[in-house]
Amino acid sequence: MNSFFKYILKRVFFMLITLWIIATITYFLMKLLPGTPYTNAEKLSAEQIALLNKQMGLDKPVIVQYGIYLSNLLHFDFGVSFQFKNQPVANLLSSRIGPSLQLGLQAIIVGTLGGILLGSISAMRQNTWIDTTATLVAILGRSIPNFVFAVLLQYVFAMKLHILPIAKWDSFAYTILPTIALAMSPLADSARFIRTEMVEVLHSDYVELARAKGLSRWEIVFRHGLRNSLIPLLTLLGPLAVGLMTGSLVVENIFAIPGIGEQFVKSITTNDYPTIMAVTILYSAMLIFVILIVDILYGIVDPRIRVSEGSRG
């Protein structure tokens, strides 16, 4: 238990350091954005812009602004949005995090479960047309960007077949197309990974022994093959989360979903510095938290990892 606690504590420490590095790099890159955060800035005089900069605290040296921002961040104060006057960024994002979390959760579940099923069937039907078709689906899902899938899904199921709504965010039906678009990448990755692992497991000695005992094909797959193939899949969950978080930025705009991704794109076009920083940190924190959970789960299913980490620490 002591080694496991050290393992988690070490992961949390690196998580906080990573967040600080991301916040620092993003902050100084944000300052390089052209233009100003003020609407109709071309109609404002130099004196008016200087007065607004003073009100917003943008007249101070960048390093001083950075120190003030970090101090406020320690108190979970993300500042006030430049785009929405007198609107705290925390309140602005809290009303939008629900759709983004729902969409991401649905996509990771659909994509991972679909990929596990597709990869298992492909491994069971190795070197057949089913295996070839599943491999082709995995290649297309990995090579075609999810926003292209989004547009194709809108064209086919909304404009041509009129089965599902084309955009907006109202009922569960409105979540189906964006979920499928975002799920294609994790589905492809999971399918390819599971197939590779499953083929190796199905040719192992203990699976041959299970066949000799008279177990059916599906019993062998689920009781032996899939259980051992899922353990390495945990390492893939972090990159899958990365794909969903970055891909949802564009997909949310395509489907006009009032989520954090849509707000992030708007904040960049208007140079809304506090919102840009808050969304970046929020996405980074969510991603790092997912990776932390994966590390903890991996340490549970494979105790050798936390033991080796503890011995090195």
Please give the backbone phi and psi of residue 88, each rounded to the nearest 5 degrees, phi first: -60, 135
Residue 88 DSSP label: B
Residues whose CB falls within 8 Å of the CB of residue 131, separated by 6 or more in sequence, listed in order: 122, 123, 125, 195
pLDDT value at position 39? 61
| Two tokens, residue 36 | 């100003």
Residues whose CB falls within 8 Å of the CB of residue 167, separated by 6 or more in sequence, listed in order: 154, 158, 174, 254, 255, 256, 257
pLDDT value at position 242? 63
Question: What average pLDDT does the chain have?
Answer: 79
Most confident of the ranges 63-77, 83-97, 210-224? 63-77
Could you give the CA distance from residue 242 to residue 238 in angstroms, rounded to a whole number?
A: 6
pLDDT category of residue 151 using cuts at 50, 70 and 90: very high
Write the pLDDT tens digit of every residue in 256-298. Answer: 888 887 777 778 777 788 888 888 888 888 778 877 777 777 6
State yes or no: pLDDT of 43 exceeds 60.
yes
State yes or no: pLDDT of 73 exceeds 80.
yes
pLDDT value at position 292? 78
Per-domain residue ranges for the chain?
Answer: 2-96+259-312, 97-249
Could you give the CA distance from residue 310 to residue 226 in angstroms, rounded to a whole number?
A: 30
Write the pLDDT tens digit of every residue in 78-104. Answer: 888 877 766 888 888 887 888 888 888
Q: The pTM is what?
A: 0.71
Percentage of the residues of the chain whose pLDDT score is greater than 70: 79
Query: In 3-state terms, what secondary structure has residue 236?
Result: helix
Q: Which amino acid is at 184?
A: M
Write the pLDDT tens digit of every residue in 49-60. Answer: 778 777 777 778
Q: Assess if CATH 1.20.120.610 describes domain 97-249.
A: no
pLDDT value at position 31? 79
State yes or no: pLDDT of 311 exceeds 70.
no
Could you give the CA distance from residue 150 to residue 254 in angstroms, rounded to a whole number?
A: 7
State yes or no: pLDDT of 161 exceeds 60.
yes
The Cβ of residue 91 has, within 10 Å, a number of other Cβ atoms equal to 12
Mean pLDDT across the stretch 113-136? Answer: 85
CA distances from 121 to 118, 137, 219 (A): 5, 13, 13
| Two tokens, residue 205 | 């000695």
pLDDT value at position 243? 64
Residues whose CB falls within 8 Å of the CB of residue 98, separated by 6 or more in sequence, listed in order: none
Write the pLDDT tens digit of every residue in 166-201. Answer: 888 888 889 999 999 999 888 888 888 888 877 777
pLDDT value at position 153? 92
pLDDT value at position 154? 92
